[in-house]
Amino acid sequence: MQTGLETMDLSDLITPEAIVPGAKVSSKKQILQELAQRAADLTGLGERQVFEVLLQRERLGSTGVGQGVAIPHGKLPGLNSIFGMFARLDKPINFDAMDDQPVDLIFLLLAPEGAGADHLKALARIARVLREPGTAQKLRGCRDAAGLYALLIQSTESNAA
């Protein structure tokens, strides 16, 4: 039985404009603020609204999933479709991750309030792609937005095969 997870492409979630290469931040709060600002610019939502949703989710438990990866996420009213953004940090930061390792690869995911299962499928797909050792290693070695975008999209296609 197909769940739809296998067919979800990261290209459905992210655009080249939503890539942040080499973010220079020193804390979890700082990167969440920067991502909220950029997400607000790209979606037309309020920066404060995005930031508050991300903070509320982090209070439930860290979205640091391990192996240097975090997937902060939340649901927002006024959003028409699932929105993704990817950031590669210049230096890893403490993100209270499950494995206590610092984080340097962050995929932000915002979903409409009624997204339901699609939100969960997107989270699972992102986690699967970013936890591929080869993919994470390539993303860490890439310095420009176009290259990061290409790697994310390419890894989705090769994982779907």
Q: Which residues have a catalytic role annotated?
A: 73
Please tell me whether residue 7 adopts helix, strand or coil conformation.
coil
Residue type, 104: D
* Chain centre to alpha carbon of residue 142: 17
Spatial distance between the Cα atoms of 122 and 139, rounded to a whole number of angstroms: 19
Burial of 159 (0-12, 13-18, 19+ CB in 10 A): middle
CA triple 20-148-153, angle to 5 deg: 120
Residue type, 85: M
Beta carbons within 8 Å of 135's beta carbon, 6+ residues apart: 129, 151, 155
Count H helices and E strands in the chain, helices first: 5, 6
